[in-house]
Amino acid sequence: MKIINFGVNNFRWINWWIENNSINFDWSNTLFIFWQNNAGKSSFLRAYEYFYNNTIPVVDDFYLKNPDNKIEFVFEFELDVDDLTIIEARDPSKMVNFRTKYLSAENKVVLRKVWAKEGTKFKDDNFTFNWTTSVVDNIWYWWFWLHNVFQSCLPKPIFISALPTKKETEDIINSILEEKAKSVLENSELQEYQELTWKLASLQEKMYDSLVISSYKEEVNVHFCKAFSDIKIELTEKDQVKYTTKSFWKNFEIEFQSINWWEINSNIPTNWDKIWHWAIRTAIFNLFLMKDIVEWFERKETRKDYLVLFEEPELFLHPKILRIIRKLVYEVSWDSYPYQILCASHSPQMIDISKPKTSLIRMVKNEQTKLFQINESILEHDFEKTKDEIKDEMNEILRFNPFICESFYADEVILVEWPTEELIIRWYLNINDDSIDKDVFVVNCWTVTNIPFYQKIFSKFNIKYHVICDTDNASSSWVDTFWNTIYSSWIQKSIYEQFYTDKNSSSEKAWKLLLHHTTFEPAHRVESVPERLRMPSGYLDSDWKPFNANRYWKEVLSLNLNDSEIDRVPIIYNIKQIIN
């Protein structure tokens, strides 16, 4: 079974309608939610765990700790042949009704769960979407009513927390191995266990198959050693005593071994307390991702048996190690692996939009939460360039320029065409940082022809942007309803049209369109600028325009910021228009 869509409302930090807080997994195997701290990113990760385990919420799970804010989960799943076989085996008589009403032509089902307070307890109401009537019926699992039947088909959650303890990690590792052990016992040796308790030791060896555990460790270390070539993961039994029926299951602990050319060096301390935290988290990621080997899952193309919920995968990672982990994240979510991955991250360095089936989700949290998602289909549909060209440009934004990476976390963005404007704006913002009540970021697009691309990207993520660029003598006419000059030629025409589209659709996207006539230098040497504030005409063109702009700031503007006529300088006037 594969998740297609996942919506959450009023769960912990998440609120403001299910439509605003839905993640589209369709055509995406790797998804990154990013925004600032305490926005609710991890709440999405925990929400799926709650749904999968059918957990009864407590007061703290309701938005603002208020049970009147009903928790709502909405899921759309795509079933495959194996899922339908499992469901039909439980009750064949209900399959006709199920296929007629609740299974779409594409084998999709939509489920809705609502938690509310009833008396002193919390009760859930459950619904299934009826494809024939296009409404939700107040029934759960299309008359089966049993969560465990459907749960056996759901992708199993694998939660990797930002700061895992040793006990948390070992509990999960032991649950993975114990789950496999129980399944072997229940399927073939339950009678033997009940009648022949004296065989416990031998049964243990059968259940905890050394070959299975060995292959598990081997696969984990193949990936782990790509990041840490001098460390090896080892799983050892914590107890060696004979077992009774009360303590039948073996207990394993995680150890780290220092290696050199695969020879173990026992002189270097590598226990949990001595090892680096980023190595621990990388080990956990690899241990969990090889879970299907222990469970003997058959890996099938496009089938997804697990949903990895990864909290801040970049935490404590050196840039080199971060790149390796990023590569592993995308590798294990390929169609040939049984994983979908949902990451809550602060780092655009983790994002690689060039990989297939990848989505970026910007989470905005004011009084409400709202998601803005971009994926392959959006890129291909809304941009005139090819998908590969767009992906290359997205990579440049997200990875190659660390300054631009930060822009996705800003309140507002100023798009400029060249370092000339960037230098002066940054100087001004730095000096006045304490008096500016919002986070404004400057993005240097490096040429005016790149500005429309950046406009579209920031618009998709609903980040308010401003544009400061040159007119370059482009043809212009009257003003529009927002008092912006209408440009009808060259790249300025595209910039204006995109700006007008965004401004007209939402005041939260485009805000100020400000142009220098014809370029920066002539605009700051016109007679309307007082002579003492003008850009000196003696600057040499051969000195490079950004160099001259830096001189202009240091020798003229920075010394006259309190001048009564400073607002007659176009760049200063434009900056104040934006920040005020």
Domain ranges of the chain: 2-155+342-374, 163-303, 410-579
Establish whether the linkage from the previous residue to 169 is cis, with ω within 30° of 0: no
Q: Lowest-confidence range among 221-230, 395-404, 470-479?
A: 395-404
Copy the structure tokens of residue 493: 């025409």
Asked whether the beta carbons of 243 and 204 are under 8 A apart, the reply is yes
What is the C-alpha to C-alpha distance for residues 85 and 83, in angstroms, rounded to an integer? 5
Output the pLDDT for position 559: 96
Output the pLDDT for position 242: 47
Dihedral in degrees, nearest 10, Cα atoms 504, 501, 36, 326: 160
**Average of per-residue pLDDT across 9-20:** 92
What is the C-alpha to C-alpha distance for residues 275 and 234, in angstroms, rounded to an integer? 14
What is the C-alpha to C-alpha distance for residues 226 and 454, in angstroms, rounded to an integer? 35
Output the pLDDT for position 507: 64
Give the burial class of 564: count Cβ atoms within 10 A of its Cβ; 0-12 exposed, 13-18 middle, 19 or more buried: exposed
- Band (pLDDT 50/70/90 cuts) for residue 38 is low
Output the pLDDT for position 287: 59
Non-local (6+) Cβ contacts of 478 within 8 A are: 486
Indicate the residue type of 210: S
Output the pLDDT for position 249: 61
Indicate the residue type of 35: W
Indicate the residue type of 75: F
- pLDDT: is 319 or 272 the higher one? 319
Element (H, E) at 34: strand 30-34
Mean pLDDT of the chain: 81
What is the C-alpha to C-alpha distance for residues 544 and 53, in angstroms, rounded to an integer? 63
Copy the structure tokens of residue 507: 């005041």
Residue 494's Cα: distance from chain center in Å?
31
Output the pLDDT for position 531: 96
- Res 145 pLDDT > 60: no
Q: Are strands 440-444 and 412-416 parallel, antiparallel or unpaired?
A: parallel
Q: Lowest-confidence range among 67-81, 275-289, 472-486, 495-509?
A: 275-289
Output the pLDDT for position 430: 93
- Res 282 pLDDT > 70: no
**Average of per-residue pLDDT across 346-370:** 79
Output the pLDDT for position 76: 95
**CB neighbourhood size of 263 (10 A):** 7
Output the pLDDT for position 424: 96
Helices (H) and strands (E) in the chain, counts: 20, 21
Single pTM value for the model: 0.74
- pLDDT: is 383 or 360 the higher one? 360
- Res 112 pLDDT > 70: yes
User: In angstroms, what CA-CA distances link 65 with 37, 114, 320, 367?
Assistant: 19, 16, 41, 15
What is the C-alpha to C-alpha distance for residues 498 and 458, in angstroms, rounded to an integer? 11
Element (H, E) at 127: strand 121-130
DSSP state letter for 228: -
Non-local (6+) Cβ contacts of 417 within 8 A are: 444, 445, 446, 447, 448, 450, 451, 468, 469, 470
What is the C-alpha to C-alpha distance for residues 374 and 393, in angstroms, rounded to an integer? 14
Output the pLDDT for position 123: 93
Output the pLDDT for position 412: 93
Non-local (6+) Cβ contacts of 190 within 8 A are: none
Output the pLDDT for position 291: 54
Output the pLDDT for position 266: 62
Q: What are phi and psi of 176, to 5 degrees?
A: -65, -50
Could you report how far apart the first and last alpha carbons of the chain are, in Å?
51
Which pairs count as long-range contacts for 524-531, CB under 8 Å and 24+ apart, including other chains? 524/552, 524/569, 524/570, 524/571, 528/568, 529/568, 529/569, 529/570, 530/563, 530/565, 530/568
- Band (pLDDT 50/70/90 cuts) for residue 294 is very low
Architecture per CATH, domain 410-579, reads as: 3-Layer(aba) Sandwich (3.40)
Task: Note the pLDDT tens digit of each residue in 493-521.
Answer: 999 999 999 998 876 788 899 999 899 99
What is the C-alpha to C-alpha distance for residues 319 and 298, in angstroms, rounded to an integer? 35
How many residues does the structure list for the chain? 580
Residue with tokens 């006045």: 432
Question: Which residues share a beta bridge with 412?
Answer: 440, 464
User: In angstroms, what CA-CA distances link 408 with 70, 83, 125, 277, 326?
Assistant: 31, 39, 38, 27, 19
Question: Which residues share a beta bridge with 24?
Answer: 5
Q: What are phi and psi of 62, to 5 degrees?
A: -85, 145
**CB neighbourhood size of 214 (10 A):** 11
- pLDDT: is 287 or 579 the higher one? 579
**CB neighbourhood size of 362 (10 A):** 21
Element (H, E) at 173: helix 166-184
Asked whether the beta carbons of 431 and 562 are under 8 A apart, the reply is no
Task: Note the pLDDT tens digit of each residue in 192-208.
Answer: 555 555 455 566 666 67
